[in-house]
Structure 1
Amino acid sequence: MLALLLALGSSFAYGCADFLGGLGARKAHVLRTVMIAAPAGLTVELLLWPLLGASYDAGAVGWGAASGVASAAAFALLYRTLAIGPMNVLSPVTAMVSAALPVAAGLLQGERLGAAGLVGLPLALVAVVLVSAGHGAGSVRPSRTALLLASGAGGAIALQLILLHQAPSDSGVAPLIAGRAVSSALTLTAAVLLRRRLGPERPAYAVSGAAGVLDSLANLLFLLAARSGDLAVVAVITALYPAGTVLLARGVLAERVHRGQIVGLGTAAVAVGLLAVT
C-alpha cells in the first residue's frame, strides 16, 4: 500500500510539473523553460541530500547518470514529436510505451501479481491511453516518422524509470542528483547551441521553477515507491500522470475534459483499487 500511495503521489507531481511546464512554454521557447526548471530541480535534490542521505558509489552514480541521459533523450524526442504532431494521436502512443516497458521489465525480473493485479494492471494501461488522448484522437493519421518519435519518447521515459529502479536501494538521493546533473548539463548545452532559435521572450521564472521542483519531487516519490514495491505496479500507476494534467487544465484553464478522458479517469480509479489489494 505504501508503494501505491507513493506512486500516486509521483503521478500527480509529474502531472502538475507537466502542466506548469506547458504554461511556461506558452510564454517562451520550451528550452528557456527548461533552463529555469533544471537548476531548480537540482537545487531541491541537493537540499534533500542531508535529510535522505546519498551514497555515491559506482552503482548509484552510474545508474543515475544513465537515467539522466534517458531523461534528456525523452525531452528531445518529445519536443520533436510536438513539432510534428498531431499530439492528440501521438500522446497516447508515448504514454502506452512509457507504461508498458517498465511493466514488462518488472515481470521479466520475476515480479508476480495476484488475481486482482492481473486485472488491474491492464486496466491501468488502458486508463493511461484514455486519459492522455485529446479531443478527436484518431481523426488524423500520423506519419511513420511521428509514430517512431512518439514511441522513442515513451521508450526513453520508460528507460529513465527502469534505470532509476536499478540503482542500489541504500544509495539515498544520489541517483537522482547524478541523473539531474547529467540531464541538466545536456539540456543546457542544447539551449546554448540553439540560442539563436530561442527567440527574445523571457521565461516565466516562477512557473518554470515550480515545474522543476515538482519534477524532482515526482522522481523522488517514484524512486521511493520502486524501492518499496513492484516496478510493474509502481510504473503503471506513475504513468497515469496525464490525469493530473487534465484535472489541472480543467480547474485552472477551464479546458474541456472529453468523454474518453472521463472514462479514463474512472478506469484509473478502478485499476488503482484493484492494484491496492494485490
Structure 2
Amino acid sequence: MRLSRPSDHHPRFGGLGSRKAHVLRTVMIAAPANLAVELLLWPFFGASFSAGALGWGAASGVASAAAFALLYRTLAIGPMHVLSPVTAVVSAALPVGVGLLQGEHLGAAGLVGLSLALVAVVLVSAGHGAGSARPSRTALLLALGAGAAIAVQLIFLNQAPSDSGVAPLIVGRAVSSAVTLAVAGLMYRKLGSERPAYAMSAAAGGLDSVANLLFLLAARSGDLTVVAVITALYPAGTVLLARSVLAECIHRGQLVGLGTAAVAVSLLALT
C-alpha cells in the first residue's frame, strides 16, 4: 500500500496569519482559496456529484470550518510546538478507533509502525521543563477541539464514494466557505479592524487543499487506521518550522520523536 502524506505547512501559515487579525478574517481568505484550488483540480481527478458525495462532502465541510477556526486560533495563541502535536494526537485517535471498528486489520510491521507513530506524536509534543512556555487551559481546550474537528472531517471524507473524484472536497469546501462567511457576517462588528496576512492566509488554504487531496487518495488505496496516523505526524514538520521561522527551541525528546516518526512511516508504508 502506498501512502501519501499531507502538507505540513498550512497550519503554520494559518497560525501566523491569525496572529495579525481575528481568526475569522484569516479563515475568510483561506477557505475560498482552498475552494479555488480544488476547482482547479477537478479536470485532473474528475468529480461525480452523487448523493453520497454531496452528503458526506457537506458534512466534512461543516467539520472543516470548525477545524480551520479552532486550529488557527490554537496556533495563534501558542506555543505552536506543544499545541500542534496535542491536536494531532486527538486527530489520529478518533479515525484509528473508527477504522478498527470497521474491521480494518494490520500485519506485524503495521502494528509496530502504528505503535511507534503514536509514541512519536507524544514525544514530539513533549514539554521543555520549568523554564519553557506552557500553554494556557484555553489553548489546550482549543487544541483538543481542533483535533476532534479534524478527525471528524477526515472520517466523513473517508465515507464518501471512492469513485466520486474530488467532488467531496469541492462540496465540503463550498459548505465550509459558506459557513465561515455566514458566521463572519453575524460577528462583523467583533472582528476588529486588523487585517490578516493575506498571502499567508491564502497559502494556508491552498496547501490545505493539497493535504485533503492527498489524504483522500491515500485513504481510498489503504486503511483509514494507517492513513490517519501518518497524517497526524504533521507536527514533525511544524516543530521544525517553528525552530527555523520563530526560533522556538526543540527539546531533545522531540528530536527522538522525529527519528521515531521516520521509522514509523517506513514500517507503515510496508503494510
TM normalised by structure 2 equals 0.89
2:200 is equivalent to residue 207 of structure 1: yes
Q: How far apart are the structure 2 equivalents of 1:238 and 1:223?
A: 11
Structure 1 residues 18 and 83: CA distance shift in structure 2, 3 A: closer
1:270 aligns with 2:237: no
* CA distances 1:183-240 after superposition (whole Å, capped 9, x unpaired): 1111222222222222222222211111110001100000000001111111100011
Among 41, 44, 59, the residue aligned to 1:66: 59
**Structure 1: 5+ residue runs without aligned partners?**
none
Aligned to 1:198: 191
Paired with 2:191 and 2:129, the residues of 1 have a C-alpha distance of 31
Conservation of the 8 A alpha-carbon contact between 2:82 and 2:125: no
Matches within 5 A, 1:34-53: 34-53=27-46
2:18 corresponding residue in structure 1: 25
Give the secondary-structure state (helix, strand or coil) at the position aligned to 2:19: helix
**Structure 2: how far apart are the matches of 1:263 and 1:68?**
36
What corresponds to 1:240 in structure 2?
Answer: 233
What residue identity is the alignment partner of 2:20? K
Q: Within 2, Cα distance between the matches of 1:84 and 1:19?
A: 12
Q: Deviations over 1:2-24 (max 9, x none)?
A: 2x2x1x2x1xx1x2001111221
Residues 51, 234 of structure 1: alpha-carbon distance in 2 compared, 3 angstrom cutoff: same
State the Cα distance separating 1:77 from its structure 2 match: 4.2
Q: How does 1:59-98 map to 2 (within 5 A)?
A: 59-78=52-71, 91-98=84-91
Q: Is structure 2 residue 166 aligned with structure 1 residue 173?
A: yes
- The answer on whether the counterparts of 2:119 and 2:257 sit within 8 Å (CA) in structure 1 is yes
| Counterparts in 2 of 1:70 and 1:57: CA distance versus 1, 3 Å | same
Supply the AA of the counterpart residue of 2:213: L
Contact 2:83 2:143 in 1 (8 A): yes
Q: Aligned in 2, Cα 1:242/1:216: closer, same or farther, shift over 3 Å?
A: same
Query: Displacement, 1:150?
Result: 4.0
TM-score scaled by length of structure 1: 0.87
Query: SS of 1:42's equivalent?
Result: helix
Does 254-263 or 44-53 show the bigger shift?
Answer: 254-263
**Separation in 2, partners of 1:239, 1:189:** 30
What are structure 2's unaligned runs of at least 5 residues? none
Confirm or deny: 8 A CA contact 1:21 1:207 kept in the other structure.
yes
Match among 177, 184, 196 for residue 184 of structure 1:
177
- Quick one: percent identity of the two aligned structures? 79
Structure whose residues are more often helix by fraction: 1
* Counterpart residue number, 1:155: 148
Cα distance, 1:160–1:136 mapped onto 2, change above 3 Å: farther
Aligned AA for 2:227? V
How many pairs align? 270
**Displacement of 1:129:** 2.6
In structure 2, do the counterparts of structure 1 residues 174 and 107 end up closer, same or farther at CA, with 3 Å as the change threshold? same
Offset, 1:157: 1.2
